[in-house]
Structure 1
Amino acid sequence: MHRAARYLLVASALAGVAGALLLFSTFRDPCGGLLRRYVATYDAAKAPCHADADCVFDPLPPGGPGLCDRARAASSARAPFEAVEARWTARGCPAPGAACPPIAGARCQQGRCVTALAR
């Protein structure tokens, strides 16, 4: 029993150290932190939808975060995305390095908006 408790304590400490390293690496790389926030904001805005018409696909902002998956529910506000894009530009973060694949738009799939790739 003591061995299991010791193992759990060591595993918890290692997880805490790993979390701290990830947190501090975000401080050293503010652009990476902004990109993660941008992805999370889009992920949260993908639902709900019932039909393809409930979804929109945002154009790639000039010089903004290079996120290809920009489908969101039409009912979600655009302001949170614009805030991250403005901080991205203000910090001088690099423009996207790779082009997105051909995208046909957005559609509703299982209650969430998804990016539809062109065939």
Structure 2
Amino acid sequence: MMKDKHGAMSAERRGTGEQRLVERMAELERRLKEVEAENIVLKELAYQSAKRYEQIKQLAKENDELRRRLFQSPWSEKTGKADEDERPDSWFLRTLRQENAIVPRPERNKEK
């Protein structure tokens, strides 16, 4: 009878141990899914960051080129003043002039 009692206690311990293992495995699987989801988000953020970095590098190159062209233009002479017709205008103003949407100011014509 002692052996049966001892065997029953051993089986009970084994059952609670197995239950704890099952619970622990379920917890580990849940945590694994969380980490995998975090990893996906981090990979996407890294991808977006890399794309943004490339855009910034390209914009910096364009900015440097525009500065170089600006300093080479007649507008940036020592006096800092060039004839207004030679000044680099915005694309918008150049287009308007080409389309004759705006006409030169009369003051300009008097000076010439």
Normalized against structure 2, the TM-score is what? 0.33
Bigger relative contact order, structure 1 or 2 (CA pairs below 8 A, ≥6 apart): 1
Higher helix fraction: Structure 1 or Structure 2? 2
Structure having the higher Rg: 2
Higher strand fraction: Structure 1 or Structure 2? 1
